[in-house]
Amino acid sequence: MQGIIDFHTHAFPDELAERAMSALLEEGKKKSDVSAHLNGRVASLLSSMDKNNIEKSIVCSIATKPSQFEPILSWSIKIASGRLLPFPSLHPDDPDALDKVSRIKEGGFKGIKFHPYYQNFSIDEERLFPIYKKIASEGLIVLMHTGFDLAFDRVRIADPEKILRVVETCPDLKLVTSHLGAWEDWDEVERLMIGEKVYMEISYALDILDPRRARDMILAHPAEYVLFGTDSPWTSQDKTLSLLLNLRLGPDLEKKILRENALALLQR
79 contact partners, CB below 8 Å, separation of at least 6: 11, 42, 59, 86
Q: pTM for the whole thing? A: 0.95
- For the chain, the straight-line distance linking the first and the last C-alpha, in angstroms and rounded, comes to 22
DSSP 151-189: TS----SS-HHHHHHHHHH-TT-EEEESSTTSBT-HHHI
242 contact partners, CB below 8 Å, separation of at least 6: none
Query: What is the rounded CA–CA span in Å between residue 244 and residue 206?
Result: 7
107: Cα separation from own chain's centroid: 20
Between strands 226-227 and 54-60, the pairing is unpaired
Domains and CATH numbers, the chain: 4-267 (3.20.20.140)
Bin 195: left if φ > 0, else alpha if -120 < ψ < 50, else beta: left
In a structure prediction context, what are the per-residue pLDDT tens digits for the chain, which is 268 residues long? Answer: 479 999 999 999 989 888 878 887 777 656 566 777 888 899 999 999 999 999 999 999 999 999 999 999 999 999 999 999 999 999 999 999 999 999 999 999 999 999 999 999 999 999 999 999 999 999 999 999 999 998 899 999 999 999 999 999 999 999 999 999 999 999 999 999 999 999 999 999 999 999 999 999 999 999 999 999 999 999 999 999 999 999 999 999 999 999 999 999 999 8
